Amino acid sequence: PIQTTSKIWHNGNLIPWEKANIHVMSHVIHYGSSVFEGIRCYGQPSGAAVFRLPEHMQRLLDSAKIYRMPLPYSLDQLSSAVVDLVEANGVAPCYIRPIAFRGYGEIGVNPKHVPVEVYMANFPWGKYVAGDAADVCISSWQRLAPNTMPSLAKAGGNYLNSQLIRMEADANGYVEGIALDVNGYLSEGSGENLFLVRNGVLYTTPLANSVLSGITRDSVLTLARHFGIPVVEQAMPRELLYIADEVFFTGTAAEVTPIRSVDRIIVADGNPGPITKQLADEFFGIANGLRPDRYGWLTPVNVN
| Interface residues toward ligand PMP, by CB under 6 A | 38, 154, 162, 188, 191-193, 212, 214-217, 250-252
- Rounded Cα distance between 115 and 93, Å, is 32
Cβ of residue 209: shortest distance to ligand PMP, in angstroms?
11
Name the residue nearer to ligand PMP (CB basis): 36 or 111. 36
Active-site residue, 127 included = no
The letter for the amino acid at 117 is: E
Name the residue nearer to ligand PMP (CB basis): 111 or 156. 156
Cβ of residue 217: shortest distance to ligand PMP, in angstroms?
6
Cβ of residue 178: shortest distance to ligand PMP, in angstroms?
11
Cβ of residue 15: shortest distance to ligand PMP, in angstroms?
25
- Rounded Cα distance between 147 and 117, Å, is 27
Burial tier of 48 (Cβ tally within 10 Å: 0-12, 13-18, 19+): buried
**In contact, 118 and 71? CB cutoff 8 Å:** yes
Name the residue nearer to ligand PMP (CB basis): 111 or 192. 192
- Rounded Cα distance between 276 and 28, Å, is 39
Name the residue nearer to ligand PMP (CB basis): 56 or 102. 56
- Rounded Cα distance between 286 and 4, Å, is 28
Name the residue nearer to ligand PMP (CB basis): 83 or 149. 149
From first CA to last CA, the distance across the chain in angstroms is 25
Which run of H or E residues covers position 255? strand 255-262
Which residue blocks in the chain are alpha helix, DSSP H?
27-31, 53-66, 75-89, 158-171, 215-226, 239-242, 274-287
Cβ of residue 112: shortest distance to ligand PMP, in angstroms?
29
- Round the CA-based radius of gyration of the chain to a whole number and report it: 19
Catalytic position from the list 7, 19, 127, 154: 154
Which region holds residue 263: left if phi is over 0, alpha if psi is between -120 and 50, else beta? left
Q: So which residues are the catalytic ones?
A: 154
